[in-house]
Amino acid sequence: MRQEIHQTNEVFTPSKPAKKTFIERETVREKLVRALMTPGKQIVVFGHSGVGKSTLLQNKLLQTYEHHITTRCMRGMKFDQIIFDAFSQLDSYYISEKTQKNEIGFKISVEPPKLFTDIKSQFEIHRKSEGQNKLTPIIPPQLTPPTLGKLIGESNACWVIEDFHKIEDGEKHYLSQLMKVFMDLSDDYPSLKIIAIGATNTARQVIDYDPEMKHRVSEIHVPLMTAEEIKSIVVKGEALLNIGFPELFKNLIVQHSAGMASVAHTLCLNICYSANVLETAPSSIKITKKNWDEALLSYIEESSDNIQSSFEKALNQKRKSKFHHEKIIIQALCDFKNGEAGRLDLLQKIQREFPEYPNTGFKQRLEKLSLPEKGRILKFNENSGTFSFYDPIYHAYALAHRRAIFESKENSSISPEVTAFLEALEELLSKNKPAEVE
């Protein structure tokens, strides 16, 4: 039987949701599907950036919903823009429904509801009087939350709001009110719901809803991927592209990814490019050490700028204080195996070196270092209750540039040096060599 040909960039997808290598997330699948199928249930999906929230949702929505609309939030976006975005997408739904059904000769009426066309013409009037370029559209008074709910409900869609944590804090409570309205409409429109996604540590950082809504909102935490899950991505990709990764490289990919599917996809894609595999190979190709080395090097080069700017954010001190907390924390964490430690172990280590180092505020400082405004150089591992570097390459950077960063009086990071990086990574890996199984 001839093997189907797949494009490599459709198999390994570091910057878009995975389809061909999609791995079921057993720990969250059932909870998510149950919430999706429960009328009136609103959903908040949260977890680190890159753990697979969008991918999981897209794959599950394909199985449970006829269609959905997705609004992507950006920093500083106002809530009215979100409403406008949802409304605009309904426009294309009603139009495409109409033509599609006409083409295949169905007689069902799919004219947009009158309310919809009325609101649309109100938008047009405003647009003409305000000029084309106005960023925040004026929402016509008819487009109330219940009306938006009804219009989305009529279309049998659900509404996904990506990256809701980026919305200004002052605007967030509107979504909580809108969720309440959507719940109340669920008798008439059982599939109507909002799914808010945020790269945060808790659901409440995505949206702070009223306590009375507690039982009607499902909070779904997407954890870091397990080693087996990451490995399954590689194995699926191998079969699709007709290539073979020696077991050692699979284990190295798992180790480098540290639970982050995005890193695994990047490394695999780089490996394929190095081996010149742009689509399914006609006869099986074995991945070599040279391919792995080149892949890692380009990953480091691609990430250098990001890492430097993350460290800059982390080390930047707004106010001078007795201790440069961030430097002290990062430096202490460097010495733990895998750059990973429990909060109290880390504090003890710091206090051995700085006996006056305060206990108060330590937890908040650690948590802050896992937020985007502080460069997100750390992450909290829910399974083990420990903090670690966001990705082993951050650990390598900290080790490679230790002197320059920690012993300088400056508050900034320094330009990453690829060779120093590679040496540090090699050293890290040799200390923690993955077992060569099978």
Ligand X SMILES: Nc1ncnc2c1ncn2[C@@H]1O[C@H](COP(=O)(O)OP(=O)(O)OP(=O)(O)O)[C@@H](O)[C@H]1O
The count of C-alpha atoms lying within 13 angstroms of the C-alpha of 284, restricted to the half-sphere facing its C-beta, is 6
Q: How far is the CB of 196 from ligand X (least distance, A)?
A: 12
Interacting stretch for ligand X, rule CB under 6 A, among 152-160, 258-266, 366-374, 388-396? 258-266
Please state, in angstroms and as integers, the Cα–Cα distance from residue 198 to each residue in 10, 38, 44, 49, 295, following that order: 25, 21, 8, 8, 30
- Using the minimum distance from each CB to ligand X, give the nearer residue, 178 or 261: 261
- Using the minimum distance from each CB to ligand X, give the nearer residue, 14 or 153: 14
203 counts as binding ligand X under rule CB under 6 A: no
What is the distance between the alpha carbons of residues 287 and 277, in angstroms, rounded to a whole number?
A: 10
Q: How far is the CB of 163 from Mg ion (least distance, A)?
A: 7
What is the distance between the alpha carbons of residues 93 and 57, in angstroms, rounded to a whole number?
A: 20
- Using the minimum distance from each CB to ligand X, give the nearer residue, 151 or 233: 233
DSSP state at residue 283: S
| Chain position whose Cβ is nearest to Mg ion | 54
DSSP state at residue 318: S
Partner whose binding site includes residue 49, from Mg ion, ligand X, none (CB under 5 to 8 Å by kind): ligand X
372 counts as binding ligand X under rule CB under 6 A: no
Interacting residue with ligand X among 28, 32, 44, 55 (CB under 6 A): 55
Q: Hey, CA dihedral for 257, 262, 264, 266, is it positive or negative?
A: negative
CB within 8 A of 314, min separation 6: which ones? 326, 330, 369, 374, 375, 377, 413
Interacting residue with ligand X among 36, 52, 149, 209 (CB under 6 A): 52
370 counts as binding ligand X under rule CB under 6 A: no
The answer to whether 315 and 408 are in contact (CB under 8 A) is no
Q: How far is the CB of 384 from ligand X (least distance, A)?
A: 20
- Using the minimum distance from each CB to Mg ion, give the nearer residue, 54 or 386: 54
Interacting stretch for ligand X, rule CB under 6 A, among 9-17, 32-40, 143-151, 389-397? 9-17
What is the distance between the alpha carbons of residues 399 and 420, in angstroms, rounded to a whole number?
A: 9
Q: How far is the CB of 9 from ligand X (least distance, A)?
A: 11
Q: How far is the CB of 164 from ligand X (least distance, A)?
A: 11
Interacting residue with ligand X among 61, 90, 217, 261 (CB under 6 A): 261
28-67 residues near Mg ion, rule: CB under 5 A: 54
269 counts as binding ligand X under rule CB under 6 A: no
- For 177-213, b/e burial (b = at least 16 CB within 10 A) is ebbbbbbebbeebebbbbbbbbbbbebebbbebeeee
What is the distance between the alpha carbons of residues 172 and 248, in angstroms, rounded to a whole number?
A: 47
Interacting residue with ligand X among 11, 18, 253, 268 (CB under 6 A): 18
- Using the minimum distance from each CB to Mg ion, give the nearer residue, 54 or 251: 54
- Using the minimum distance from each CB to Mg ion, give the nearer residue, 57 or 253: 57
Residue type, 367: E
| Chain position whose Cβ is nearest to ligand X | 52
Site for ligand X (CB under 6 A): how many residues?
21
Q: How far is the CB of 49 from ligand X (least distance, A)?
A: 3
Interacting residue with ligand X among 193, 265, 368, 395 (CB under 6 A): 265
- Using the minimum distance from each CB to ligand X, give the nearer residue, 23 or 217: 23
21 counts as binding ligand X under rule CB under 6 A: yes
What the block records as the tokens of 29 is 């699948």
Closest CA to 159 of 214, 95, 85: 85
Angle made by CA atoms 19, 23, 28, in degrees to the nearest 5: 115
Burial class (CB within 10 angstroms; exposed 0-12, middle 13-18, buried 19+) of 356: exposed
Please state, in angstroms and as integers, the Cα–Cα distance from residue 388 to each residue in 46, 191, 376, 378, 421, following that order: 19, 40, 11, 5, 18
49 counts as binding ligand X under rule CB under 6 A: yes
Residue 396 phi/psi, 5-degree rounding, is: -60, -40
Partner whose binding site includes residue 233, from Mg ion, ligand X, none (CB under 5 to 8 Å by kind): ligand X
Interacting stretch for ligand X, rule CB under 6 A, among 14-22, 76-84, 286-294, 405-413? 14-22
25 counts as binding ligand X under rule CB under 6 A: yes
17 counts as binding ligand X under rule CB under 6 A: yes
Q: Pseudo-torsion of CA 253, 254, 255, 259, nearest 10°?
A: 120
Position of tokens 């199928």?
37
224 counts as binding ligand X under rule CB under 6 A: no
Q: Which residues bind Mg ion (CB under 5 A)?
A: 54
Q: Which residues bind ligand X (CB under 6 A)?
A: 13-14, 17-18, 21-23, 25, 49-56, 199, 233, 261-262, 265
